[in-house]
Amino acid sequence: MNTISLTHAIPGLILKSHRFDLPLDYADPDAAAKLSVFAREVIAPGKENADLPYLVFFQGGPGSGAPRPGGASGWIKRALTEFRVLLLDQRGTGASTPITAQTLRHLGTPQAQADYVQHFRADNIVRDAEAIRKVLIGDRPWSILGQSFGGFCAMNYLSAAPAGLKEVLITGGIPSLTATADDVYRATYPRVIAKNRRYYERYPDDVQRVRDIVTYLTDHDVQMPSGGRLTAQRFLQLGLSFGMSDGFEAVHYLIEEAFVDAPQGREMNWNFLAGVEHAQSFDTHPIYTLLQEACYTQATASDWSAERLLREFPEFSHDAREALLFTGEMVYPWMMGVYPQLKPLKAAADILAKKTDWPMLYDVEKLRKNRVPVAAAVYFDDMYVHREFSEETARIVPNIKLWVTNEHEHNGLRADGEAIVDRLLKMTRGDL
């Protein structure tokens, strides 16, 4: 079922909201459990009645809703010259039926919560997209654009339902088809170390600033504005942004203001604490923590992979004599005791981490026969998606053209999306 709300306009864009009622579990589509998936259609003014093809956007994450457009700019501006853009709020995110501690609480037991959340990986996101395609355009294929985790969804789409695809664009998101979570973190931790070194080369004074902050947090119980505690481990998770072109500056400018002088001595600046809270979205996007490692699991358990693999990299020790290192996009079990909205989900998170019967995400033999044109921007120094894994996948799957570049970091689509999408479209069509 597709419910369309009133179409409205903002300067430069026509926006139409769709809501689809879809099965929670496609293995049992007639079951009572349903969910709502929201998608926002974006159209250039004057083209409302034109028979334009669709470009469907798969957001990064997991656990993040699609962009909320404020005008015709960036990659959307380029796409609207020839497409209707469909911004998909992947199941569990945005205006779709959400996954939060608040909504999961109503399921009762941790096992019931885990059983529910297991249906929110890339495979079911793609099944949702296919159901929506058939409602909107029937048997016609459409084009898709996947950013980061959205690229993982795109690769699953190529594996599961290639007949639904005309062309595929991927930015910073070609996954390994076979690597385990352990393989992924064993490869990405060294990249995080390298980003830390570059950060401290740019801001050498922050070596002492970061050590002072970690020492203070170790010795004091620092409460966050909206609850929870700022621990040294949580503070060092700010390194999550180091893979973005503006990530170093975001962290540096924040820690410059970490302390204020009070009559009793130095204490944490409330504005700094608010800034840290704003920079960390684990409370508002619990899918990220619950299913981050499940992005890589196929018939195996992650067993809190990032936590286990961290022991192989003593550079991250808080006792290190040199600069203290920030961590990256990894998730850790201790987070379930620090972030207020994750605390009620600790038992469910542990169940998901121990789950061994995850379905396969990619049919390698089917992908070896791919005929859908694919163009992908692969960022040479990508901190989140291991470049060598992306290149390996491209050697396995035919009809993939890679643009390997160090001109952009992982946020290239946000920073220069109009040029990137234009180039990728030309690549799929043989113009580059």
**How many CA atoms lie less than 13 Å away from 387 in the CB half-sphere?**
17
* Measured distance CA(164)–CA(308) in Å, rounded: 39
Residue 382 per-residue DSSP state: -
Residue 25 per-residue DSSP state: -
Asked if 366 contacts 157 with a C-beta cutoff of 8 angstroms, the reply is: no
Q: 52: exposed, middle or buried (C-beta count within 10 Å: 0-12, 13-18, 19+)?
A: middle
In the annotation, is 285 catalytic?
Answer: no
Residue 420 contacts by C-beta under 8 Å, 6 or more apart in sequence?
75, 171, 377, 408, 412, 413
Residue among 37, 62, 39, 40 at smallest CA distance from 281? 62
State the CB neighbour count (10 A cutoff) for residue 431: 9
* Measured distance CA(208)–CA(206) in Å, rounded: 5
DSSP lists the bridge partners of residue 98 as: 92
Active-site residue, selected from the candidate residues 139, 219, 261, 357:
357
In the annotation, is 261 catalytic?
Answer: no
Q: 259: exposed, middle or buried (C-beta count within 10 Å: 0-12, 13-18, 19+)?
A: middle
Asked if 344 contacts 101 with a C-beta cutoff of 8 angstroms, the reply is: yes
Active-site residue, selected from the candidate residues 64, 148, 305, 390:
148
Residue 107 contacts by C-beta under 8 Å, 6 or more apart in sequence?
113, 116
* Measured distance CA(2)–CA(347) in Å, rounded: 36
Q: Hey, is 193 helix, strand or coil?
A: helix
In angstroms, what is the C-alpha Rg of the chain?
A: 22
In the annotation, is 206 catalytic?
Answer: no
* Measured distance CA(93)–CA(302) in Å, rounded: 23
Annotated catalytic sites, by residue? 148, 357, 410
